């Protein structure tokens, strides 16, 4: 049973469509937002890693959420990324996203500079005391200071405003410990995963869902996995989970994340443009080969929009990719 208020299910971290000058393509973002909702995703997750929040301005981040909230019109909850570089900007984002009717914000530990766990705990306690909107901790130690499990436990027990955690550490044992040591003490605390490769194992062990980048490209498949799990059809959920693995690996293999996911969205019929991060000529050659393989995988999944771009077999593309990889510096 899905609660109307608890953060659970599949929240989609969306790519942001750009014009060539890197202005936000607002019309295409609106069209993409509606498409995701119509495909049945549980919620939206703007300004996550897939949305390249770190590469755009504070004003652009705010504008992305404004556009998506206006287009969603309350049809699905919005978990808005508010991982700003200092606490004052986090508060500004929290206030604006609360005014827009977002369900909660997602906040990483401080990033770039190393910070002690004592300071991280103090940081989140101050946020929890003053935020006008619920907070989901975002643990992604690859790119920010890790939020230790001990700190998560204390925050979960002491701060009602902190309602859950999104874990993108790719550390299944840590996620299991969170379920065992935190969720057993606070059952309403949402435990979400940020790695689609282990979505089903997380659900089977009592996780609440995830922020799944692949759902921005193949929402039908990801929601089929989730809904099959809810209905008890574990065999079907397992089938879809394994089916998604090659698609996920191919999008990551494109390099310059999230360009593979951006290209997947393009192959579904959108015009996202290129992201703000430049790509070398060698990488572009590799990316073009990946694009061909991705189109074939999407075609095999039954997504007809990608059929015209599937011009050769996956085996031939893999051979081409191997030759390109040998030439990369």
pLDDT in tens, 123-140: 999 999 999 999 999 999
Q: Which two tokens stand for residue 142?
A: 């690859």
d(CA 179, CA 192): 10
pLDDT, tens digit (0-9, with 9 covering 90-100), for 71-93? 999 999 999 999 999 999 999 99
In the chain, where are the structural domains located? 9-216, 241-329
Domain boundaries 9-216, CATH class: alpha beta
**What confidence tens digit (pLDDT) does each residue in 17-27 have?**
999 999 999 99
Q: Where are the beta strands (DSSP E) in the chain?
A: 9-12, 43-44, 79-81, 104-108, 134-139, 162-167, 190-193, 209-211
* Cα angle value 258/263/268 (rounded, 5°): 130
pLDDT of residue 324 exceeding 50, the answer is no
* pLDDT for the residue numbered 148: 97
| Nearest-angstrom CA–CA distance, 272 and 201 | 32
Tell me how far apart the alpha carbons of residues 264 and 199 are, in angstroms, rounded to a whole number: 20
Enter the tokens of residue 30: 């609106």
pLDDT, position 281: 83
Specify which residues 101 forms β-bridges with.
none
CA dist 195 and 206 (Å) reads 15
The Cα-based distances of 169 to 184, 193, 210 in angstroms read 21, 9, 13
Quote the distance between the C-alpha of residue 125 and its chain's center: 25
Q: Could you tell me if 10 and 41 are in contact, meaning their C-beta atoms sit under 8 angstroms apart?
A: yes
Phi, psi of 285 (to 5 degrees): -60, -45
Instruction: Please provide the size of the chain in residues.
Output: 329
235 pLDDT more than 50:
yes
Rounded CA separation 142/166 (Å)? 14
Tell me: pLDDT of 1 over 50.
Answer: no
Share of the chain above pLDDT 70, in %: 93
Residue 263 has pLDDT above 50, yes or no: yes
pLDDT tens digits for range 160-180: 999 999 999 999 999 999 999
What is the average per-residue pLDDT within 132-149?
96
Residue 245: CB atoms within 10 Å: 12
Q: In angstroms, rounded to a whole number, what is the distance separating the alpha carbons of residues 291 and 154?
A: 45
CA distance 137 to 308: 42
Phi, psi of 185 (to 5 degrees): -90, -25
Average pLDDT of 269-288? Answer: 86
Closest by Cα among 131, 44, 58, 65 to 95: 131
Mean residue pLDDT across the chain: 92
Peptide bond into 258 cis (omega under 30): yes
């Amino acid at each position: 049973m899905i609660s109307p208020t608890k953060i659970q299910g599949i929240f989609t971290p969306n790519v942001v469509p750009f014009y060539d000058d890197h202005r936000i393509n607002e019309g295409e973002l609106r069209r993409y937002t509606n498409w995701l909702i119509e495909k049945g995703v549980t919620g939206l997750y703007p300004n996550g890693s897939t949305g390249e929040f770190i590469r755009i301005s504070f004003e652009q981040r705010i504008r992305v959420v404004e556009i998506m909230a206006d287009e969603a019109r309350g049809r699905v909850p919005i978990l808005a990324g508010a991982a700003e570089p200092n606490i004052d900007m986090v508060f500004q984002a929290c206030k604006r996203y609360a005014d827009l009717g977002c369900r909660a914000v997602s906040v990483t530990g401080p990033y770039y500079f190393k910070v002690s766990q004592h300071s991280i705990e103090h940081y989140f306690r101050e946020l929890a005391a003053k935020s006008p909107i619920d907070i989901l901790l975002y643990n992604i130690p690859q790119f920010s200071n890790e939020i230790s499990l001990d700190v998560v436990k204390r925050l979960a027990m002491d701060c009602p405003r902190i309602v859950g955690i999104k874990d993108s550490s790719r550390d299944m044992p840590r996620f299991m410990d969170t379920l065992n040591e935190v969720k057993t003490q606070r059952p309403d605390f949402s435990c979400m995963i940020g790695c689609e490769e282990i979505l089903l194992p997380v659900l089977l062990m009592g996780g609440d869902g995830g922020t799944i980048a692949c759902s921005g490209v193949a929402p039908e498949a990801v929601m089929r996995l989730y809904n099959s799990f809810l209905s008890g059809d574990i065999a079907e959920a397992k089938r879809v989970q394994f089916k998604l693995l090659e698609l996920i690996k191919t999008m990551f293999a494109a390099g310059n994340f999230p360009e593979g996911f951006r290209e997947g969205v393009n192959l579904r019929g959108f015009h996202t443009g290129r992201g703000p991060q430049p790509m070398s000529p060698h990488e572009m050659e590799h990316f073009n080969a990946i694009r061909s393989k991705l189109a074939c995988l999407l075609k095999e999944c039954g997504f007809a929009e990608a059929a015209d771009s599937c011009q050769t077999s996956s085996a031939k593309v893999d051979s081409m990719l191997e030759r390109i990889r040998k030439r990369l510096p």
